[in-house]
Structure 1
Amino acid sequence: MIIQLAADLRGYVYDVFVTRFDGWLVFGIAAQAVFGARFILQWLASERAGKSVMPLSFWFLSIAGGLMTLVYGLVRREPVIIFGQALSTGIYLRNVALILRERRGR
């Protein structure tokens, strides 16, 4: 069973990241990196301030939407969406952690 799961995962990863590799994939990953840069800049500003500057509801909607989009990307085997949403959702979670830490008075 584990051997089959590993083979299935290996086949999935090969299909998503090798079989579909072309110029448009490179462009799509670059486009996602540019789009995601705005969140990285906001995240760094929050880290410097030691708090998030966005409303908590923004981050909860971002987490929900990011996870939903990540699931969509995994099901549709879209590497651009997978890369972008995996990184972005981690940033959304970090901002929620900063907000909660600030509210606890740390």
Structure 2
Amino acid sequence: MADAITNWLHSVFIAQFDAWVVLGFFAQACFTMRFVLQWLASERAKRSVVPVTFWFFSLFGGTLLFVYAIVRKDPVFIAGQGLGLIVYIRNLWLIANEKKAMTQDT
């Protein structure tokens, strides 16, 4: 049993380690940062807050994860990240329109 676990760990984390895995981990770290930023912003405000940087980290990390999923040929991951990108872009678009409207009103 221990040999099977050791072999599995080696095949997953060592044998297939390449530049794409490095990109995947970097992308996941960027994607995770959005939660850290959202949490910190909410703690500072003492209410739930979604800062603009949340959407930029979502877009950046999601795009890198989408590329990673395409290279790895993972249809579930491709669909999930691809659809998420639409949401991130739309939220950034809405924020930009809101800021534009605010500057026109003043």
Normalising by structure 2, we get a TM-score of 0.49
Larger Rg: 2
Q: Which has the higher contact order (CA 8 A, sep 6+)?
A: 1
Normalising by structure 1, we get a TM-score of 0.49
